Amino acid sequence: MPVGGFLEANVKLSDYETLLEGIGRVVYRLEPDSGRCEYVQGGAASSDPVIGLPSDKVHPEDRERALAQITAAAAEHPGQRASLVVHYRLDDGLGGFRHCHDTLILDADAQGEPREVYGVALDVSEQVRAVAVLNEKEAHFQAAMNAAQVGIFLLQDGRFKYVNPYLIHLFGHSEAAFLNGMALVDLVVAEHQEITREASAMQQAGEPGRPYEITMIRQDGTSLPALIFGSPATYEGRPAMIGTLLDISRQKDAERRARELADFDPLTGLPNRRLLSDRFSLLLSVVERDESELALIFLDLDHFKRVNDSLGHSIGDELLRAVADRLNSVVRDVDTLARLGGDEFIIALPGIHAQAAAEVARRLLEVCASPFSVAGHDLIVTPSLGISLYPDDGRDFESLLRNADAAMYKAKDAGRNTYRFYSREMNVATLKHLLMESGLRRGLGAREFVLHYQPLVHVETGGIIGVEALVRWQNPELGLVSPDQFIHVAEDMGLINPIGEWVLREACRQLRVWQDAGLPTLMVAVNVSPVQFRQPGFVETVADALAASGLNPHFLELELTERTVMEDAEQTLKTLSALNEMGVELAVDDFGTGYSSLAYLKRFPVGKLKIDRSFIRNLEVDMDDRAITSTILSMGRGLRLEVLAEGVETKAQYQILRGMGCELVQGYHFSQPLPPEQFVEFLEKYRTTLKD
């Protein structure tokens, strides 16, 4: 659309009409032949302005042209009446012109010569001036549009009807492309199209708009953040919308830079509390989804104030930077190390459980242990750390931070340069874990391990056919530690092999001693860890233990968990066969908790299944457990395997099992696992009661 048209569409032309109303008008008659002129109405004879062709004020050039037009019109209409309009200027006597709009009616003779001419002359000087102003306005408007450093556009039904040069330049589309049916939303990213469409429709409907921000796409595919402001307009007599478009990419960049400044600690360049808290909600959602854990460590430097006070702030700052570097060397990519301010740091460790968090805390203490050399000073600064764990110590950033802070104070109370968990249990547990790690190795040399023996009872006869050897750790600080607590630590530390070997040797030795002492013939069951079982020299280790004790292999039974047996079945089969050939018995422990392939069970040289005690616990009330137990029993019979029920605690359980035809039982109902001497005593007493 030409700009003028757009301007006209917006300028009221009723003024133009008003102009015409009071205008001077004269009617005159002209005889071309004679050149006679006379005013019929108005004109020189009246007070009306002296206008019309008769006026001697008519510009000579214009008079010539007007007369030539009359001659030409007559020539075209011989013998007819014709009409024409002529324009001419009249000298206003002030150095300017008046403008005359003259409607002529002429009669032409047969030769096409004008005979008589009537003219109705109007003074249109005002009108002409108005048009001139209008033209000037349009020129200004056009210039403004061209120079505007803002996009200006007119939309009707969402489509461009006008775009200014800036907009064309900004987007890189040609004007034709814009005006050929392109819609504003065509330039807007998908997620902002709806608001754009709604806003322009509202403004077209006459509602003044509010500025709104959208992301747009240029012709070259780059994106452009823009602020649009629209207001109602008309175009070609119909409602439309006129809008301005501001390129706000600079503001956006500035905002981003400001945000960065707001997110990072200027001293260390580490994320600050604000950013950490933002990231934390993201971390939490991931951790929540994966049902994993997360640890938050609060780290405060001990006596940092002294450095600041004695050496000055700039050295203090330098030290903080050096500390931040060292801390950074410990954290993983997924962790966030942030500076809270002062000498306080926080570390968020996603996907980490208590032990691993303690491990990180220890490494943080370690990296800070050596002196920091700052500006020629060797400075020692130790941290105190507090750890809180998601979800146990809090489910949001604020509570985890608060609790990590509280834990940090516990570390300070405990003498600084150490770490503490928020929860007491965690502190006890990790302390134990630590003691275990350092103690296990020593314990092995210091002979701190002992075996307790639990009788295995034959249901039919009530006689004791053997014992299960169960290891315990007699730790000077922790007391008697149960295998459930330390076996997995030993496995992690690679200490399970020497411990397991000791258990094997000790169990064989003890049994042989009992046999030599004339105790009734018993077999001994020894638990074997999967790590130990997969150890290349395992079969030899068993052979050595037997040889060293002189125990007949038939009295030794090895207990392997269901999982151990079913993993890597081919290798398992080889090892089991080798052991079986030696004469050693094999049992599947904790049966029912893993999953067993019956095909393998049949192929493996296993002689016994031990039903896990979780099925026995509720035997009296839980019909499912009862069904499972009875199924295992009949399966065992079918596969010609002995079946033993573990964890028999009550007479009722015992009777139910007996009723089901279970052959062997073990549990507190008969005896707890006992130290060797007590077991011998128990055996004596038990035999007496049996006889009674």
- To Mg ion, the closest distance from the beta carbon of 427 in angstroms equals 31
Query: If you search the block for the tokens 């509390």, which residue do you land on?
Result: 273
Given 673, 674, 679, 682, the residue binding ligand C2E (CB under 6 A): 673
Contact yes or no for 611/636 (Cβ under 8 A): no
* Residue 624 near ligand C2E by CB under 6 A: no
**Binding segment for ligand C2E among 254-262, 272-280, 381-389, 524-532 (CB under 6 A)?**
524-532
* Neighbour-count burial for 222-259, b at 16+ CB within 10 Å, e otherwise: eebbbebbbebbebeeeebbbbbbbbbeeeeeeeeeee
Does 394 contact ligand C2E by CB under 6 A?
no
Phi-psi map region of 200: left, alpha, beta (phi>0 left; psi -120 to 50 alpha): alpha
Run of H or E including 282: helix 273-289
Token pair recorded at residue 150: 């803002």
585 touches, from ligand C2E, Mg ion, none (C-beta below 5 to 8 Å by class): none
Instruction: Between 230 and 466, name the residue whose CB sits nearer to ligand C2E.
Output: 466
Residues 415-454 that bind ligand C2E (CB under 6 A): 454
Closest to ligand C2E by CB, 151 vs 483, is 483
Interface residues for Mg ion in 356-415 (CB under 5 A)?
Answer: none
> In the complex with ligand C2E, which residue's Cβ is closer, 156 or 527?
527
Shortest distance in whole angstroms from residue 543 CB to ligand C2E: 18
Q: How far apart are CA 503 and CA 545, in angstroms?
A: 9
Minimum distance from residue 469 beta carbon to Mg ion (Å): 9
Of these partners, Mg ion, ligand C2E, none, which one is at the site of residue 265 (CB under 5 to 8 Å by kind)?
Answer: none
* Window 574-603: residues binding ligand C2E (CB under 6 A): 589-590
Q: Do 559 and 532 form a contact (C-beta atoms < 8 A)?
A: no
In angstroms, how far is CA 547 from the centroid of its own chain?
62
Burial of 102 (0-12, 13-18, 19+ CB in 10 A): buried
Nearest approach in angstroms of CB 563 to ligand C2E is 11
Taking CB atoms, the residue at the shortest distance from ligand C2E is 667
SS3 301: strand
Closest CA to 468 of 553, 527, 547: 527
Helices 483-493 & 424-445 angle (0-180, nearest 10): 70
668 binds, among ligand C2E, Mg ion, none (CB under 5 to 8 A by kind): ligand C2E
Minimum CB distance to Mg ion, residue 571 (Å) = 22
User: Using the rule CB under 6 A, is 471 a contact of ligand C2E?
Assistant: yes
Residues contacting ligand C2E: total by CB under 6 A: 24
Q: How far is the CB of 667 from Mg ion (least distance, A)?
A: 11
- Edge-to-edge strand order for the sheet containing 212-217? 159-163, 151-156, 238-247, 223-235, 212-217
One character per residue 635-664, x = contact with ligand C2E (rule: CB under 6 A): -----------xxxx---------------
Q: Under rule CB under 6 A, which residues in 477-516 are in contact with ligand C2E?
A: 482-484, 487, 500, 503
Closer residue to Mg ion, CB minimum distance, 272 or 527: 527
| Per-residue binding letters, 520-559, with Mg ion (x by CB under 5 A) | -------x-------------------------------x
Q: Which is nearer to ligand C2E, 339 or 613 (CB)?
A: 613
667 binds, among Mg ion, ligand C2E, none (CB under 5 to 8 A by kind): ligand C2E
Cβ-based nearer residue to ligand C2E, 341 or 675: 675
| Cβ-Cβ contacts under 8 Å for 561 (sequence gap 6 or more) | 530, 588, 589, 590, 593, 594
Neighbours of 307 (CB within 10 A): 23
Count of other CB atoms within 10 angstroms of residue 567: 14
Indicate the Cα dihedral angle 680, 684, 686, 692, nearest 10°: 180
C-alpha atoms less than 13 angstroms from C-alpha of 295 in its C-beta half-sphere: 25
Of the pair 302, 590, the CB lying nearest Mg ion is at 590
Least distance from C-beta 445 to Mg ion, angstroms? 26
Site string for ligand C2E, 307-326 (x = CB under 6 A): --------------------
- Residue 243, binding choice from Mg ion, ligand C2E, none, Cβ under 5 to 8 Å by partner class: none
**Which one, 350 or 673, has the nearer CB to ligand C2E?**
673
Residues 541-580, interacting with ligand C2E (CB under 6 A): 559
d(CA 656, CA 620): 8
Between 300 and 468, CB nearer to Mg ion: 468
Tell me: does residue 392 bind ligand C2E (CB under 6 A). no
Minimum CB separation of residue 598 from Mg ion in Å reads: 20
Q: Which entry of Mg ion, ligand C2E, none binds 54, CB below 5 to 8 A by partner kind? A: none
CB atoms within 10 A of CB 64: 12
Map the footprint of Mg ion across residues 615-654, applying CB under 5 A: 646
Q: Which of residues 581-620 bind Mg ion (CB under 5 A)?
A: 589-590
CA 408, CA 421: separation in Å to the nearest integer?
A: 8
Cβ 353 to ligand C2E shortest distance, Å: 21
Report the amino acid identity of residue 634.
S
Place of tokens 């500006």: 375
Q: What is the DSSP letter of 235?
A: E
The alpha carbon torsion through 198, 199, 205, 208 (nearest 10 deg) reads 160
503 binds, among ligand C2E, Mg ion, none (CB under 5 to 8 A by kind): ligand C2E
Q: 102 vs 562, which CB is nearer to Mg ion?
A: 562
Judged by beta carbon distances under 5 to 8 A according to partner kind, the member of Mg ion, ligand C2E, none in contact with residue 483 is ligand C2E
Q: Binder to ligand C2E among 384, 529, 535, 541 (CB under 6 A)?
A: 529
Does 391 sit behind a cis peptide bond, omega within 30 degrees of 0 on the bond before it? yes
Element (H, E) at 656: helix 651-659
Return d(Cα 83, Cα 85) in angstroms, integer: 7
CB of 60 or CB of 595, closer to ligand C2E: 595
Structure tokens at 684: 């004596």
**Interface with ligand C2E, residue 665, by CB under 6 A:** no
For Mg ion, which is the closer residue by CB, 423 or 614?
614
By DSSP bridging, strand 114-123 and strand 81-91 are unpaired
Q: Which residues contact 524 (CB under 8 A, 6 or more apart)?
A: 453, 466, 467, 468, 469, 507, 508, 510, 511, 555, 556, 557
Distance of closest approach, residue 610 Cβ to ligand C2E, in angstroms: 7
Choose from ligand C2E, Mg ion, none: what does 510 bind? Cβ within 5-8 Å by kind.
none
- CA-CA-CA-CA torsion for 481, 483, 484, 485, nearest 10 degrees? 40
CA distance 234 to 6: 9
Contacts of 255 (CB under 8 A, 6+ apart): none
Which DSSP string do the residues of 28-51 spell out, in sequence order? EEEETTTTEEEEEESGGGSSS---
Contacting positions for Mg ion (CB under 5 A)? 527, 559, 589-590, 646
User: Contact positions toward ligand C2E, by CB under 6 A?
Assistant: 454, 470-471, 482-484, 487, 500, 503, 527-529, 559, 589-590, 613, 646-649, 666-668, 673
